[in-house]
A and B are shown apart, each in its own frame.
Chain A
């Protein structure tokens, strides 16, 4: 038997995708309908899935296979972006959709699921490969993993992998505890902790930009970089998730995972190769190099905020405490700004300002790298013209990279003005970018964990965030401290002003 598939042509073909079954726990939930199923259907539409691909949906609601298929069809029609539902493709895809009802704590569920998997393996020739996807309440993660293990489904003829959605614990101890439970059934190498930010094209493009070009890396250090700002702003409020959000807050919901991962990508050392262990090692090293703060440093280098009511565009917008399901005295942070410092030779002394918030003026995620000014001002520059060189990596909504620099204004005299050189990902390449879930699901099926978060990375993030969490929990804040539709509390501006910096207004 040949060990390699002789028909493969890596130069022209997409990556190889093995046959497998994806088992989704929480198949009746929002994430499945909005993200997972549209992403899987799109992969099928693009011929990216193997012929025998199948999905087993698991949830408590009793439902037949056909009812599940119909529900998923509606979800794909409603939530697919830039993809129309092709009847023939859908029919072939839907033939591989199955459903098992049951309670996650009930061993009977796993017995029935095991029976289904055995049937599918026989008829769909999936080789025993199974990807378990936990799209349930985080409190159910450990029970689901242990249930899989107790029923003997954690091992089989092929590979078995587990995808876990964030949050990975709510502090360092609970993250360790969760990992411990998952490891009773799955090796760490088979646990895929998904952070959809890392699946975004532009976040991946940071690696291409930094390590595919020779001209930027020499500037990528404390000698040339003055400060870095990472913004993850949302214009919406909690949108009916008030009860959940008041337990989490902006720091846990965004900074601990998404934004620290983005920071790790922008600041990590070059990896020896583009293999998963190498890239993840470097990302992990960077996270472990972030200095955990003392209580005094937390007071100096962090700001929490909560939005109050305002009128935006002629419409009254409630404050966080007026949102449905939210405690009117809630101390939840809907805004968080932190100045992190990385303790290594490359970044010592360079502040990484990270901020996120709800009900900010616009939805934007970007990284702005502020370079040091020219050492000597030989031109007669006014304030506006002495603007620093900025390299801006836009992650959403308009993915791209801009470089701002000074140029001579045409005409007599030597007047400078800032100009922007833009690379727009969407318009420079006309091709549709895959959604983050398409990228990440395919990676998990292929077994490429490069864009997934490893246990040590999760723990390193919590180690950095936990001192802030603890301090904020002990402090009673005067909330609300910013009006909806503004760029956050004044204290955040003051925090930067102390170092002679100002927040960029994206």
Chain B
């Protein structure tokens, strides 16, 4: 196992890779390969992470967000190790004759070599394009070595639900800390809620419902443990919106509540007040929206890691709604049934 990586060598290997891929793919019709790149995507993953699943997610992301992917596999404690591997990820779009290829660099680093990573990643980043850091390692997110890597990024993406903290609020506090340091941050637990929030917003596009918004007097959430952090975000967001609308902030008055179903994977939110009851509930792959007893069913595919990352990679700028929700969620104020 090597202990050093020379970025210049990696860049040379990347250049050679393109030459050889071009030669291999130069078909009889001379169509060749097309190189595409819109960002550098740095992925921090434990070596024990399912490599195949991660590879599939990256492959799915590449057609929409073509990137130079730098996957850093964390080996944990032990002998100092730092190695590299360069390869390309190609796909043939349906009905096309030309392959599209993106380059990937895989670095393996033991804990002892973590401090060397920024000096390797920085020269490997594609110039003039954003660098996105996707941290899948809860362990590294809690280490001091995380911050120099985060500081290089235009945006850091984490999943607070997977941070392994016993208290969800601790995970949210860590996400909020990243934001406080001036780094754009995305949380996949928040991204999981987009379709839910959109559906709720749609309900209040109706002027009659909007007129009754100020009379909402209770907000109830029910969730399985898998969605606990998301439910926390959802509750805070709903309350912030109600407060913005000048309504009775149910949660502040102790009427909002999260009920945790330890075994389930459900998520349900219910807003009720004079003349209006709105409920959104997950049923398998569908969402049932019920407004004053009238239900509507819509397709809600499970939010795979690919779908969540696809949305987050599309937003490389400040997200005021999320930042406001995150700032509120990191404060201990919301009553829960846990």
Q: Do A and B bind each other?
A: yes
Which residues of A are in contact with B by a Cβ distance under 8 Å? 1-2, 5-9, 11-14, 16-19, 44-45, 47, 50-52, 86, 88-89, 91-92, 125, 127, 398, 422, 424, 426-431
Q: How far is the CB of A196 from chain B (nearest CB, A)?
A: 22
- Is A6 a contact partner of B213 (Cβ separation < 8 A)? yes
17 pairs of residues in contact across A and B, judged by CB atoms under 8 Å:
A5-B201, A7-B200, A11-B319, A12-B198, A12-B321, A19-B205, A19-B206, A51-B294, A89-B299, A92-B296, A125-B206, A125-B208, A127-B208, A424-B98, A427-B63, A429-B63, A430-B64
- Is B206 a contact partner of A92 (Cβ separation < 8 A)? no
- Is A426 a contact partner of B96 (Cβ separation < 8 A)? yes
Q: Which residues of A contact B199 (CB under 8 A)?
A: 47
- Is B204 a contact partner of A7 (Cβ separation < 8 A)? yes
B202: CB under 8 A from chain A?
Answer: yes
Instruction: Tell whether A428 pairs with B198 under 8 Å between CB atoms, given A6-B241, A7-B241, A45-B299.
Output: no
Q: Which residues of A contact B294 (CB under 8 A)?
A: 51
Complex: chain A residue closest to B294, CB-CB: A51
Q: Which residues of A contact B315 (CB under 8 A)?
A: 11-12
Q: How far is the CB of B24 from chain A (nearest CB, A)?
A: 17
Size of interface on B: residues with Cβ below 8 Å to A: 50
CA distance A127 to B204 in the complex (A): 13
- Is B291 a contact partner of A9 (Cβ separation < 8 A)? no
CA distance A12 to B206 in the complex (A): 20
CA distance A337 to B234 in the complex (A): 59
- Is B96 a contact partner of A89 (Cβ separation < 8 A)? no
- Is B299 a contact partner of A88 (Cβ separation < 8 A)? yes
CA distance A1 to B245 in the complex (A): 8
CA distance A13 to B205 in the complex (A): 13
Which of A7, A17, A91 has the most B CB atoms < 10 Å from its CB? A7
Q: How far is the CB of A273 from chain B (nearest CB, A)?
A: 20
Q: How far is the CB of B132 from chain A (nearest CB, A)?
A: 17
Q: Which residues of A contact B213 (CB under 8 A)?
A: 1-2, 6
- Is A47 a contact partner of B195 (Cβ separation < 8 A)? yes
B286: CB under 8 A from chain A?
Answer: yes
Q: How far is the CB of B308 from chain A (nearest CB, A)?
A: 12
B152: CB under 8 A from chain A?
Answer: no
B20: CB under 8 A from chain A?
Answer: no
Choose one: A1, A91, A428; the contact of B214 (CB below 8 Å): A1
Choose one: A45, A47, A422; the contact of B34 (CB below 8 Å): A422
Complex: chain B residue closest to A18, CB-CB: B205
B297: CB under 8 A from chain A?
Answer: yes
Q: A6-B245, A429-B63, A430-B62 given. 4 additional CB < 8 A pairs?
A: A11-B317, A14-B198, A51-B294, A429-B64
Q: Which residues of A contact B286 (CB under 8 A)?
A: 88
CA distance A9 to B202 in the complex (A): 11
Complex: chain B residue closest to A3, CB-CB: B210
- Is B197 a contact partner of A13 (Cβ separation < 8 A)? yes
B256: CB under 8 A from chain A?
Answer: no
Q: Which residues of A contact B198 (CB under 8 A)?
A: 9, 12-14, 47
Complex: chain B residue closest to A16, CB-CB: B205
CA distance A77 to B211 in the complex (A): 39
Q: Which residues of A contact B319 (CB under 8 A)?
A: 11-12
CA distance A11 to B298 in the complex (A): 22
- Is A1 a contact partner of B210 (Cβ separation < 8 A)? yes
Q: Which residues of B contact A8 (CB under 8 A)?
A: 201
B121: CB under 8 A from chain A?
Answer: no
Q: How far is the CB of B249 from chain A (nearest CB, A)?
A: 12
- Is B321 a contact partner of A424 (Cβ separation < 8 A)? no
Q: Which residues of A contact B200 (CB under 8 A)?
A: 7
CA distance A118 to B315 in the complex (A): 43
- Is B201 a contact partner of A9 (Cβ separation < 8 A)? yes
CA distance A92 to B98 in the complex (A): 41
- Is A2 a contact partner of B205 (Cβ separation < 8 A)? no
Interface residue ranges of B29-49 to A (CB < 8 Å):
34, 36
Q: How far is the CB of B191 from chain A (nearest CB, A)?
A: 8
CA distance A357 to B206 in the complex (A): 47
B289: CB under 8 A from chain A?
Answer: yes
B337: CB under 8 A from chain A?
Answer: no
CA distance A2 to B338 in the complex (A): 34
B235: CB under 8 A from chain A?
Answer: no
CA distance A431 to B206 in the complex (A): 30
Q: How far is the CB of B213 from chain A (nearest CB, A)?
A: 6
Interface residue ranges of B245-294 to A (CB < 8 Å):
245-246, 286, 289, 291, 294
CA distance A398 to B34 in the complex (A): 15
Interface residue ranges of B289-317 to A (CB < 8 Å):
289, 291, 294, 296-300, 311, 315, 317
- Is A428 a contact partner of B36 (Cβ separation < 8 A)? yes
- Is A89 a contact partner of B245 (Cβ separation < 8 A)? no
B93: CB under 8 A from chain A?
Answer: yes
Q: Which residues of A contact B311 (CB under 8 A)?
A: 12
- Is B297 a contact partner of A91 (Cβ separation < 8 A)? yes
Q: How far is the CB of A113 from chain B (nearest CB, A)?
A: 23
Which of A16, A52, A86, A430 has the most B CB atoms < 10 Å from its CB? A430
Interface residue ranges of B61-93 to A (CB < 8 Å):
62-64, 66, 93
Contact with A along B193-235 (1 / 0, CB 8 A): 0110111111111111011011000000000000000000000
Q: How far is the CB of A139 from chain B (nearest CB, A)?
A: 38
Q: How far is the CB of A244 from chain B (nearest CB, A)?
A: 31
Q: Which residues of B contact A12 (CB under 8 A)?
A: 194, 197-198, 311, 315, 319, 321
Choose one: A7, A11, A45, A428; the contact of B66 (CB below 8 Å): A428
CA distance A14 to B194 in the complex (A): 10
- Is A86 a contact partner of B299 (Cβ separation < 8 A)? yes
B244: CB under 8 A from chain A?
Answer: yes
Q: How far is the CB of B242 from chain A (nearest CB, A)?
A: 7
CA distance A7 to B195 in the complex (A): 12
Choose one: A11, A52, A428; the contact of B206 (CB below 8 Å): A52
Instruction: Tell whether A127 pairs with B207 under 8 Å between CB atoms, given A88-B286, A426-B96, A430-B64.
Output: yes
Q: How far is the CB of B59 from chain A (nearest CB, A)?
A: 10
CA distance A479 to B294 in the complex (A): 63
CA distance A17 to B180 in the complex (A): 35
Q: How far is the CB of A359 from chain B (nearest CB, A)?
A: 23
Complex: chain B residue closest to A89, CB-CB: B299
Q: Which residues of B contact A88 (CB under 8 A)?
A: 286, 297, 299
Which of B202, B315, B319 has the most A CB atoms < 10 Å from its CB? B202
CA distance A125 to B299 in the complex (A): 22
B100: CB under 8 A from chain A?
Answer: yes
- Is A6 a contact partner of B242 (Cβ separation < 8 A)? yes
By Cβ-Cβ distance, the 6 closest A-B pairs, closest first, are A430-B63, A427-B93, A7-B201, A6-B241, A2-B245, A6-B244
Choose one: B96, B204, B245, B320; the contact of A427 (CB below 8 Å): B96
Q: How far is the CB of A40 from chain B (nearest CB, A)?
A: 14
Choose one: A1, A9, A44, A427; the contact of B197 (CB below 8 Å): A9
Interface residue ranges of B310-336 to A (CB < 8 Å):
311, 315, 317, 319-321
Complex: chain A residue closest to B320, CB-CB: A11
- Is B291 a contact partner of A1 (Cβ separation < 8 A)? no
Instruction: Tell whether A17 pairs with B205 under 8 Å between CB atoms, given A2-B246, A47-B195, A431-B64.
Output: yes
Contact with A along B159-203 (1 / 0, CB 8 A): 000000000000000000000000000000000001101111111
Which of A8, A17, A89 has the most B CB atoms < 10 Å from its CB? A8
Q: How far is the CB of A85 from chain B (nearest CB, A)?
A: 11
CA distance A428 to B300 in the complex (A): 26
Q: How far is the CB of B296 from chain A (nearest CB, A)?
A: 5
Choose one: B36, B96, B208, B210; the contact of A5 (CB below 8 Å): B210
Instruction: Tell whether A51 pairs with B296 under 8 Å between CB atoms, given A7-B201, A428-B100.
Output: yes
